[in-house]
Structures are given as structure tokens and as C-alpha cells.
Amino acid sequence: MESTWKAVDEYVATRLLGEDRGLIEAKRRAGAAGLPSIAVSGLQGKQLYLLARSIGAKRILEVGTLGGYSAICMARALPEDGRLITIELDPRHARVATESVAAAGLNGRVEVRVGRALDLLPEVEGPFDLTFIDADKSNNPAYFEHAVRLSRPGGVIVVDNVVRNRTILSDSPDSSAEGARRLFEAVQRDARVEATVVQTVGEKGYDGYLMAWVLAGL
């Protein structure tokens, strides 16, 4: 099955994804610097871009930058005066991301902040139209809480990797799976948001993301 998912991703990507020099370069740099290849796929990045576009996002927050691939995807949707803040723990990842963002011509719109997300999020100034959470999965419940607080009414929050090959169903003590389960419990109780999960297959295997909408009437 996995090889079929990959082949279909390739088929679609060839037809629907344009040649974005900035993204190609970001991928190359991340590889050359030895960063793990766990960025969103090209098609997933396009989805984030389309989401940002469709809601007319002007302010975007990201938790977990890696080499800047998803940040560049989302920042492509921003108007000239739009801003994306992305938080990264590893200074090496942040450096690669900053270079790739600049090479993509987006340094005026993207700010990479270096540090633990839990330390930096209290200082971040909202409100945001869109938040993408994609860092250490064990802290997802805390990141989600910050994201709701920092969202504008009617804002959107996306959390990557909440299915991870069905680990969510196991009661394994794996901290990522545990983070996902605690996230679902928190979202279930949270009257400020409406949420769903889209399960995904493709070049990144079997996974899924949570999408939440922060009620407009808060």
C-alpha cells in the first residue's frame, strides 16, 4: 500500500504543484544540512497555502520550523504586509530556515524565533488568522491552548501528525501518542472550538491532521 500512496502523491504532485524555486532550494538546503526529512510533503504544503489563501490570512503562527518548508508554503499566501512568526528550538534548524526563507524572498514577511515553544509562546503577540502546530507532539495540548488564546475569533488551527500510523488507538506510553490523546480530550472539552480530523496517506505514510475553527462569537 505504501508504495501506491507514494506513487499517487507523485502523480498528483507532478500535475498540480508548480516549480517553486524557493521550496526546491529549501528542501535541498535542509537535506545538505542533515536535517531530518520530516517536513510536510509538497501536496500538504500546498494545502496549507490554499487554506491560508482561502481565509485571506494576514497573520500566521507556526510552532516547529525545521528547515522552513511549511513556513515558506504558508508565507507564499501572505500579502506584502502579512506576517508569519515561526518558533524553532534547534538553532541549527532555525539558521537553515532563515537562509531558505531569505532565498525564497520572504525575509520581510517571516520571522524565525529560536527557543522552546513553551517559553516563547507567552511572549508572542496575536491575534493570528492561522496557526500550524508541528513541533514536539507531547506538548500539543499546551500548544493548542496557546493557539486558541492567540487566535482571532474565526481563526483556524491545524495540528499535524495526530494519527501517526494509528498510534492514537494504542495505549502505548509513547509520549507523542499520549500527546495526541490528551489533545483530543482537551479539544472535546473545549467549547471555544469546533474541530475535525482528516486522515491522510501519501509519501509520508499514514497519518492525519486536526483542523479546528475558533468560534467567531467569542
- Residue 61 CA to residue 85 CA, distance in Å, equals 5
Q: Which of 9, 20, 88, 99 binds ligand SAH (CB under 6 A)?
A: 88
Q: Which of 23, 40, 159, 177 binds ligand SAH (CB under 6 A)?
A: 40
- Taking the complex as a whole, the smallest distance from the CB of residue 160 to ligand SAH amounts, in Å, to 7
Distance of CA 166 to the CA centre of its chain: 20
What are the DSSP E strand ranges found in the chain? 59-63, 83-88, 110-114, 128-133, 151-159, 193-202, 205-214
DSSP code, position 41 = P
| Residue 64 sits in the site that holds ligand SAH (CB under 6 A) | yes
- Taking the complex as a whole, the smallest distance from the CB of residue 160 to ligand DHB amounts, in Å, to 5
- Residue 10 CA to residue 51 CA, distance in Å, equals 21
- Taking the complex as a whole, the smallest distance from the CB of residue 111 to ligand DHB amounts, in Å, to 21
DSSP code, position 201 = E
Q: Choose the one of Mg ion, ligand SAH, ligand DHB, none that binds residue 90, judging by a C-beta under 5 to 8 angstroms depending on kind.
A: ligand SAH
Site of interaction with ligand SAH (CB under 6 A)? 38-40, 64-66, 69-70, 87-90, 93, 116-117, 134-136
